[in-house]
Amino acid sequence: MASTLPDHPAHAPRDLEPLGIEVPSSVPTHWYNLAADLPTPVPPALHPGTKEPLGPADLAPLFPMALIMQEVSTERYIEIPQVVREIYAMWRPSPLIRAVRLERELGTPARIYYKYEGVSPAGSHKPNTAVAQAYYNAAEGIKKLTTETGAGQWGASLSMACALLGLECEVWQVRASYDSKPYRRLQMETYGATCHPSPSDLTEAGRAMLAADPDTTGSLGMAISEAVEAAAKDPTAHYSLGSVLNHVMLHQSVIGQEALAQIAAAGERQADVVFGCAGGGSNLGGLAFPFIGQNLREGTTTRVVACEPAACPSITQGEYRYDFGDVAGLTPLLKMYTLGKDFVPPPIHAGGLRYHGMSPMVSHAVHLGLMSGVAVEQDDAFAAGVMFARAEGIIPAPESTHAVAGAVAYARTVKEPEVIVIGLSGNGILDLPAYESYV
Ligand SMILES: *Cc1c(COP(=O)(O)O)cnc(C)c1O
C-alpha cells in the first residue's frame, strides 16, 4: 500500500549546528567504550572472502568513517556531538525508578530498581544509537539511510532519527510483521520514511526470493540483504544496523552511565545484580558495560545476567565461534555466541530477541566470565510482564519482560537486602496483541 501521508520536509537537509539548547549535565557528555578496560581485546570481524580482519575500506560503502573508527576504537571515552546531546535531552536522562510495589508483591528484602528506556519518543532504547548514526551519516553528506526491521522498533527509531536530522529513510520490514503490525508501519510513515514489505521486487535479492517462493512471509536475514543491496547501489545512501555492532554498544552506554550515577544518588553503595534482555545485545551492553568497566577498574562486584528467550538461546546454548550475521552469508564473520546462521527461531512474541547470534562485545564479556546468561520461557516472561504492569503501571515490551522475569525469579531467592537493577528496554503499548494471546 502506498503511503497516504504527505511528503514531509524531513527529506530536506537540516542544519547540523547545535540549536543552543541547554542540556542538563546529567545527560552524558561522552560514550563509554568497554574495549578500553577489557583484559583481552574483542576478536575482530573478518572479511567473508579472505577471512582477514576487516579494514575501513571494506566498510566504507555502507557506513560513514566516524562510525567505522568507533567500531574499532579502544578509547575509553568518545565525545558525544552536541547536536546528538540536544536530541538525547528530549528524553534523557531516562528515569531509574525504585519498584517498591513490585518488591512488596514479591515479599523480597531486595531493593529493585528499573532503568526505563520506554520514555523515548519511539518507545525503546533504540533511538540512542539511531540518532547518533543518522547524525554521523548526515555530517558526511549522506542523503538516505536504508535498514531492515523485524518487529518494527528499529525501523521506527531510525525513521524518527532521520526525520530529526534531515535524511531520507527506506525500511524493508519482514512481510509477516508488515502485515500483522500496521501500527509500526504507520509510525515509520508518519516520520516520513518509506516502508516496503520484504521480500520486495525492488532488489535483486528480493526478486530472487519471491521467484523461489511467491508466498514467503520473509525473514530478518532476507530484509538485511535487501537493505544492504539498496545502500550499496546508491552512492548517496548508507546502511544502518540497530544492534550487534561495537559502535551500537558504544552509543547505548548512555544508559549504564546514567544508571551508575542514579544508583549512587539513591544512596546505594553499588548495584549487586543487573538483569537485561538480550537479542543482539545492545540494551544489555548499554546498561551493563559501564558497571563491568567499574568492576574492572575499581573492584566493585556487580554481577550481570543476560536474559534470553528459551526459544532462541544463543548465550546459554550456542557455540562461541565465527559466524555470519545473516542467512545468506554475505555479512562479515563475527566471533559470537551463535545458534548457527541457518537457525530459524520459532515465531515468539518478543520479535526483537529472535536473532541467531549475539554482539561480539557481549559474547566476549560472557566468554571472559564478566557476565552470565539465563534462558527464560515465554510464559514466564509474560507472567512477569503482567505482574510488573499490575504493580508498577508500565506495560513492558515483550522483549523487556525477559529481564523482568530473570529479576523476579532471582528476587524470590534473595535472603538479605541486595540491590537489583532491571533494564526495562521499552514499553509494550504497540505490542498489546502479544499480551492478548497470553492473558
Ligand atoms: C530491539 C529490542 C530489543 C532487542 O535488541 P537488543 O539489541 O538485544 O537490545 C530489546 N528490547 C526492545 C524494547 C527492543 O526494541
Q: Which amino acid type is present at position 328?
A: A
Nearest to 102 by CA among 403, 366, 316, 439: 403
Q: How far apart are CA 196 and CA 183, in angstroms?
A: 14
Q: Which amino acid type is present at position 224?
A: I
Distance from Cα 401 to the centre of ligand 1, integer Å:
11
Nearest to 184 by CA among 151, 146, 218, 148: 151
Q: How far apart are CA 113 and CA 103, in angstroms?
A: 10
Decide whether any atom of ligand 1 lies within 6 Å of the 126 Cβ.
yes
Cβ atoms < 10 Å from Cβ of 105: 16
Distance from Cα 424 to the centre of ligand 1, integer Å:
10
Phi and psi based region of residue 309 (left: phi greater than 0; alpha: psi -120 to 50; beta: remaining): beta
DSSP secondary structure string for all residues of 82-150:
HHHHHHHTTT-SPPEEE-HHHHHHHT-SSEEEEEE-TTSTTSBSTHHHHHHHHHHHHHTT--EEEEEES
Atom of ligand 1 nearest to the CA of 118: 13
Taking only Cα atoms into account, the Rg of the chain, rounded to an integer number of angstroms, comes to: 20
Instruction: Tell me which residue has cell 501521508.
Output: 5
For 49, the grid coordinates are: 572472502
Decide whether any atom of ligand 1 lies within 6 Å of the 279 Cβ.
yes
Distance from Cα 49 to the centre of ligand 1, integer Å:
30
How high is the pLDDT of residue 2? 44
Which of 117, 148, 158, 277 is the best mutation target for the ligand 1 pocket, counting ligand atoms within 8 Å of the beta carbon and taking the most?
277
Which of 129, 399, 404, 427 is the best mutation target for the ligand 1 pocket, counting ligand atoms within 8 Å of the beta carbon and taking the most?
399
Nearest to 394 by CA among 357, 368, 370, 429: 429
Distance from Cα 398 to the centre of ligand 1, integer Å:
10
Distance from Cα 155 to the centre of ligand 1, integer Å:
12
Nearest to 133 by CA among 326, 306, 341, 282: 282
Decide whether any atom of ligand 1 lies within 6 Å of the 277 Cβ.
yes
Decide whether any atom of ligand 1 lies within 6 Å of the 280 Cβ.
yes
How high is the pLDDT of residue 439? 76
**pTM score of the predicted model:** 0.96
Task: Give the Å distances, CA to CA, from 163 to 9, 111, 142, 194.
Answer: 8, 40, 14, 12
Decide whether any atom of ligand 1 lies within 6 Å of the 426 Cβ.
yes
How high is the pLDDT of residue 176? 87
Decide whether any atom of ligand 1 lies within 6 Å of the 399 Cβ.
yes
Atom of ligand 1 nearest to the CA of 286: 9
Overall residue count recorded for the chain in this entry: 439
Q: How far is CA 265 from the centre of its chain?
A: 27
Q: If you take atom 5 of ligand 1, which residue's CA is the nearest one?
A: 279
In which element (H, E) is residue 309 found? strand 303-309
How high is the pLDDT of residue 12? 61
Decide whether any atom of ligand 1 lies within 6 Å of the 153 Cβ.
yes
Q: Which CATH code, of 3.80.30.20, 3.40.50.1100, 1.10.8.420, 3.40.228.10, is assigned to 86-123+245-438?
A: 3.40.50.1100
Are 137 and 240 contacting, i.e. CB atoms less than 8 angstroms apart? yes
User: What is the pLDDT tens value at each position of the chain, 439 positions in all?
Assistant: 444 555 544 566 677 999 999 999 999 999 999 999 999 999 999 998 899 999 889 999 999 999 999 999 999 999 999 999 999 999 999 999 999 999 999 999 999 999 999 999 999 999 999 999 999 999 999 999 999 998 899 999 999 999 999 999 999 999 988 998 889 999 999 999 999 999 999 999 999 989 999 988 888 888 988 999 999 999 999 999 999 999 999 999 999 999 999 999 999 999 999 999 999 999 999 999 999 999 999 999 999 999 999 999 999 999 999 999 877 777 899 999 999 987 877 777 777 788 889 999 999 999 999 999 999 999 999 999 999 999 999 999 999 999 999 999 999 999 999 999 999 999 999 999 889 888 7
Which of 349, 400, 425 is the best mutation target for the ligand 1 pocket, counting ligand atoms within 8 Å of the beta carbon and taking the most?
425
Are 381 and 360 contacting, i.e. CB atoms less than 8 angstroms apart? no
Distance from Cα 271 to the centre of ligand 1, integer Å:
22
Atom of ligand 1 nearest to the CA of 124: 13
How high is the pLDDT of residue 220? 82
Decide whether any atom of ligand 1 lies within 6 Å of the 397 Cβ.
yes
Which of 114, 115, 124 is the best mutation target for the ligand 1 pocket, counting ligand atoms within 8 Å of the beta carbon and taking the most?
124
Phi and psi based region of residue 424 (left: phi greater than 0; alpha: psi -120 to 50; beta: remaining): beta
How high is the pLDDT of residue 6? 52
Instruction: Encode 195-219: b = buried (16+ Cβ within 10 Å), e = exposed.
Output: bbbbbbeebebbeebbeeeeeebbb
Decide whether any atom of ligand 1 lies within 6 Å of the 352 Cβ.
yes
Atom of ligand 1 nearest to the CA of 278: 8
Q: If you take atom 15 of ligand 1, which residue's CA is the nearest one?
A: 153
Decide whether any atom of ligand 1 lies within 6 Å of the 281 Cβ.
yes
